[in-house]
Amino acid sequence: MILSNLDRKNRGFTLLEMMVVVLILGVLAALAVPSFISMNKRAKLNSGLTDLSTLLQEVQRTAIRKGNACTITLPASGTTNPNINSPCLLAGNLKLDAFKIRNNLTSINFNYRGDTSTSTANKGTIILSLPDGNNEYKCLVISPGIGLVRTGNYDATDATGTDPAKCTSPQ
């Protein structure tokens, strides 16, 4: 008789216990999923900015190595899925799928010393965002003359501009 009571008590979990566990897992998932999605979008944006910065450095090094000028042609500002072209790219053109680009440049020219002459007299600014409107922007600023490139976060309140002063270093 004592043995049969033990068998009944050790059969498994009750329905109530299972429902409590499922409820706790649901609450944890509801808290974690938005953060994970945001982190994933931020990582994608950082990856696109890194690709763009690497492309600029590659063209600059190619101009120095060949001793010839190299030009990068940028798409029109506001373009989604931009294609960035240069005959000096070793791996071919860069297509930034699922990105939106804003810029105040039409092209970037690197001379044989790696110096730049951008199509504007001021600093050239390129801003990347995701087209889903998440209000997070990454920027790349090119200094005219010496060809220095810096990257950072662009002020989210300026959804249409390309002011290099609003490109701040990541915290």
**pLDDT, one tens digit for every residue, the chain (171 residues):** 455 555 556 678 899 999 999 999 999 999 999 889 889 988 999 999 999 999 989 999 999 999 999 999 989 988 888 888 899 888 788 888 889 998 888 888 898 888 886 545 567 889 998 888 778 899 998 888 788 888 888 887 887 888 888 888 875
The CATH classification of domain 13-168, taken from the options 3.20.20.370, 3.40.47.10, 3.10.580.10, 3.55.40.10: 3.55.40.10
CA angle (65, 66, 72) in 5-degree steps: 95
* pLDDT at position 65: 92
* pLDDT at position 122: 60
CA–CA separation, 26 and 111 (whole Å): 58
* pLDDT at position 155: 86
* pLDDT at position 106: 86
Q: Who's near 8: CB < 8 A, 6+ residues apart?
A: none
Tokens 């945001």, residue located: 38
Q: Who's near 29: CB < 8 A, 6+ residues apart?
A: none
Half-sphere exposure at residue 160, Cβ-oriented, CA atoms within 13 angstroms: 0
CA–CA separation, 112 and 69 (whole Å): 5
